[in-house]
Amino acid sequence: MALTLDPKSPTSATGGPSLFAQSVAAIDAEYQRLDYALGWRFMMSPSRTLTPGARTLVLTQNPGGKWEPSDHPRASQERGSAYRLESWPIEGPNSSRQVAGGAKLQLQVQAMFRWLGEDIDKTPTGYFVPFRSPSWDALPKQDEALDFARHLWKPILDALRPKLILCIGIDQAFSGASEMTGAVAGKSLPIGWGNYSARTATSQSTMIVGLPHLSRFGIFGRDESVGALAAIKSALADFREPQ
C-alpha cells in the first residue's frame, strides 16, 4: 500500500499540506481503492486538535452503521466534539433524532472526559479504521483496512506523542496503538461489571488504556463501577506523574 505521511508537518504553516490534510486525502483515496460504499469518518474533534503537545488521544475502532448521515462531516467536526454537539438518529436515516449530545454513547463519552479531567472539544478523538460498517465483522477487506490504519496513525502518533491513548473498546484500536508504540501488555483492571475488565499497555513514554465499549458497558455514572474507575484513574496518575 502506497501511503507516506510526514509527521514533521503537523500544520499548514510548514509550507506543505498539514498532517491532517495528508491523512484525509489518504483516507479518501483508500476508501475508493477498497471500493467501500458506506462512507468514512476520521476525526470526531476539530482538525486543530491534531497537533503536537496533546496529552491524550482517544481512539475508537471504526464508525458503525448501515448508512452515512449526510450532516456528519467525514474529515472532522470543526465546531467541537461530535460526542457533545451532534444529533444522532435514533434508528434509520429518516428517523427522529436524539437531542444534541444525548445518545447513550455520547453521554458516556462526555462523562469519560469529565472523569479524565480533559476538555472534550480540545482533545484529539478519532477512528482507528475510518471506514464505516454495520459491525466490525461486516467490514470487507479487514486485513487491508487494518494495514492502512497502521500506516495512517503511525506518523500521527509520532507527531503527537500523547502521554495517554484511551481506546473505547478493547479491539483493533487498542492492539494497533500498542503495536505502533511498542507498548507491552500490562494490567487487567476490573470495571465493576462481572468479569469484564479494562486493559493497559505501556511503553517508555505512553500508556494505552482500553475500556470495554461504552455503547454496551455504561460504566460512567454507574454506582457499581465507581471504585473500579477510581483504581483505573489512580493507575493513570501513577504513570503520568511517576514518583
Residue 218 lies in a domain: yes
Q: Which pLDDT score, from 0 to 100, does residue 243 have?
A: 43
Read off the CATH number of the domain in which 230 is found.
Answer: 3.40.470
Q: Would the pLDDT of 12 be above 50?
A: no
The pTM of the full predicted model, rounded to 2 decimals, is 0.91
Q: Provide the residue count of the chain.
A: 243
- Per-residue pLDDT, 222: 95
Q: Predicted confidence band at 2 (pLDDT cuts at 50, 70, 90)?
A: very low
238 burial (CB, 10 Å; 0-12 / 13-18 / 19+) is: exposed
Q: What is d(CA 45, CA 76) in angstroms, rounded to the nearest whole number?
A: 6
**Closest residue by Cα to residue 24 from 152, 202, 128:** 152
Pairing of strands 56-60, 125-127: parallel
Are 89 and 77 in contact, with CB atoms under 8 Å apart? no
Q: How many folded domains does the chain comprise?
A: 1
Q: Cell numbers for 46, please give them.
A: 476539530
Task: Tell which wins on pLDDT, 236 or 85.
Answer: 85
Which structural domain range is residue 218 located in?
A: 18-240
> Is the pLDDT reported for residue 231 higher than 80?
yes
pLDDT above 70 (res 174): yes
User: For position 13, what pLDDT does the model report?
Assistant: 40
Q: Is residue 10 part of a domain?
A: no
Give a yes or no: residue 4 inside a domain. Answer: no
Higher pLDDT, 15 or 241: 241
Cα angle at 48 between 24 and 59, to 5 degrees?
65
**pLDDT number for residue 14:** 41
Q: How confident is the model at residue 82 (pLDDT cuts 50, 70, 90)?
A: very high
* 24 found inside a domain: yes
What is the model's pLDDT at position 53? 85
Instruction: Write the pLDDT tens digit of every residue in 25-61.
Output: 999 999 999 999 999 999 999 999 998 889 999 999 9
Which pLDDT band holds residue 160 (cuts at 50, 70, 90)? very high
Q: What is the pLDDT of residues 110-158, one digit of tens each?
A: 999 999 999 999 999 999 999 999 999 999 999 999 999 999 999 999 9
DSSP for the chain, please give it: ------TT--SGGGSS--HHHHHHHHHHHHHHHTT--S-B--BSS-GGGSSTT-SEEEEES--B-SS--TTS-SS--TTS-HHHHPPPBSSSTTS-BPPTT-SHHHHHHHHHHHHHT--TTTS-EEESS-B-BSSSTT-SSHHHHHHHHHHHHHHHHHHH--SEEEEESSSHHHHHHHHHHTPEEEEEEEEEETTEEEEEEE-SS-EEEEEPPTTT---TT-GGGHHHHHHHHHHHHHHHS--
**Does some domain include residue 166?**
yes
Asked if the structure places residue 2 within a domain, the reply is no
In a domain, 11, yes or no: no
In a domain, 12, yes or no: no
More confident residue, 6 or 202: 202
* Residue recorded with cell 492502512: 148
